[in-house]
Amino acid sequence: MNIYKLNGEIVGLVPAGFLEENNAKSRGVLPKDYIRVDGVDPAGAWGVGVWGVEKGEFEMFFSFSEFVTILEGRVIITHEGESHNLGPGDSFFTPKGATVHWKVLEDLRKSYLTIS
């Protein structure tokens, strides 16, 4: 069992390079990102864990669906012209095929469930 607490200590995060791997775009340098994978379906249908990213700004196309809960930090996400300022305890769902702009105001940690 894995416990995800708001603003709690998160151990086991390692450098991810997820933004580069998923062709995220930035006007400057992509922020560094980190991950802790807590579970993956052997068939690749889902994954769960914690992902973190340093302060910065980027845009990413989602080739998967994702349900997220912000554990720490603040972010403004924009999808289809609608922006949301989110922080610890806030959750959101990103559908497969969406392009989302992220403005990370404070180093961010989120729990995630991805669905292929």
Tell me the pTM.
0.92
Domains of the chain with CATH codes: 14-115 (2.60.120.10)
Can you say how many angstroms the Cα of residue 47 is from the centroid of all Cα atoms in its chain?
A: 12
Cα–Cα distance for residue pair 70/53, rounded to 1 Å: 12
pLDDT value at 2 more than 90: no
pLDDT at 9: 83
Where is average pLDDT lowest: 18-27, 63-72, 94-103? Answer: 18-27
- Quote the distance between the C-alpha of residue 92 and its chain's center: 10
Q: What is the pLDDT of residue 22?
A: 85
Q: What is the CA radius of gyration of the chain?
A: 13
